[in-house]
Amino acid sequence: MEDLNYSSLVAQYSTKGRKGYNPIMMFAVLIYANMRGVRAIDRIVELYERDIAFIWLTKGQKPKRDKFYDFIKYKLTDPILEDLHCQFLRQLHKEGLITLESLFIDGWKIPRL
């Protein structure tokens, strides 16, 4: 995930005011949690209190649940999420971890043109 271009996500933040949580870290925590099947923010907050992988991802920081809700609602907009998702899939394909032979939309397999 280090190779992704996060400029559109980082641009959502102002350089003025108090320093907040790193948006790349917040995104990484959400992605990792989703990969482990964890979707509830409250559960994610519990995990980075005691799970070593989440502690490593957050570098020991402990954002409250409201920070995640604000991040999802105001910073991780649909176009930004779609862009990061596409970049992530391209990276996985480039590393040979997935193939892009078929496209699935809403559970329907679309034949490759």
The CA-to-CA distance between both ends of the chain, in Å, stands at 29
The total number of structural domains that make up the chain: 1
**At residue 2, does pLDDT exceed 90?**
no
**At residue 95, does pLDDT exceed 60?**
yes
- Whole-model pTM: value is 0.80
Helix, strand and coil percent figures for the chain, each rounded to 5:
55, 5, 40
Q: Is residue 1 part of a domain?
A: no
Rounded CA separation 86/43 (Å): 27
Domain extent for 78: 7-110
Q: Is residue 91 part of a domain?
A: yes
Residue 53: what pLDDT? 92
Q: Is residue 2 part of a domain?
A: no
58-89 pLDDT, tens digit each: 988 889 999 999 999 999 999 999 899 889 88
Mean pLDDT of the residues in the chain: 85
* C-alpha pair distances (Å), 20 with each of 26, 33, 40, 62, 63: 11, 21, 22, 12, 9
